[in-house]
Structure 1
Amino acid sequence: MRWTVITAATVMAGGLFSPMASAATAPAAAPAPVQAAACDKPCDRTIKDDYPYKSTPNVRDPWNFWTGQCTSFVAWRINKRLGIKFTNAYKDVLWGNAKDWDDAAKKAGMKVDGKPKVGDIAVWNSGTYGHIAYVASIDGTKIVVEEYNYSKPLAYTKRTIAADTVDNFIHFF
């Protein structure tokens, strides 16, 4: 990551002058434009239950999943935290149940592997529907995932797990 350091300066008509510059000092060449400091996606790394559909479970959400389910929560996180306009038909592929997400991601040309990054989607393929969760943080071989409908029906939980217990990670960036 490249950081830009900005120091105090005074802007006067026709140029940028350091507050320490004297009238006898010729102005330096115009500095390069300062760009906003970029953050590693996702920028918002708050770990909390801010899912807007927690009080209205089992209805279709704007992304064509069922509210209160892991797929709806993760679709919301992808839209809100990653800024990606994700739906159940993202990149013209049907994403469906959680256990189908890693295959859908591969069909959509996305990277899927066993190496997590913050903002990835953790996929477990076992069970009738499988399960997915949002990777909120990483500490060595441990990850913190946020999820819905895992250990509490139709409710939010977060847990710390070993990264190697996840079947796959979907990378959106």
Structure 2
Amino acid sequence: MARPPRYDETLLLDTAVQLAAASGPAAVTMSAIARSSGVPNGSIYHRFPQRVILLAELWLRTVERFQDGFLSALDGDPDPRRAGAAGARHVVAWSRSNPQEAAVLLHGPQSFGRDEWPMEFTQRADRGNQRAKAAVARLAARVGAATELGTDKVVLAVIELPLAVVRRYLRAGSPLPPHAEDLAERCALDLLA
């Protein structure tokens, strides 16, 4: 019978998040994780046989954690304007609560080797992206966005503007200002009017 792993995946991925947030995806190596976590290289390779698998799991765990709350916000209020505003607010609030993970997401999946991921990981990423696109499309339909301009306004309101609110602070390693959530929410409400 195989021996259960001594070190759990959460510790390894949490360490990888810290490394990526501090120094970018290139800093996430098996040896760097071993040094930072105190976990032997062999144990890391036992859980993640290749670096690309570790990078894929790091990206997917992070984006899925973000998407769960974002998608719930977009579908959570019967009033589509308030639902969109809640989605925009979630982008900022999640980034405030999870600054290292938010910094990871700013790099994008390509920086984490997406082109080299095994198929199961790309399919998982594609499913998540499809869920997010479908939620935004549902919101666009609910606010009556019947044109490309209308859909672009929804995307700007719930994705692009909230990201703009957090991006410069995350890149600078600075805390978000106290008004950041309110700003994202107000912008979304105005655009979705």
| TM-score computed with the length of structure 1 as normaliser | 0.25
Answer with 1 or 2: which has the greater Rg: 1
Q: Which has the higher contact order (CA 8 A, sep 6+)?
A: 2
| TM-score computed with the length of structure 2 as normaliser | 0.23
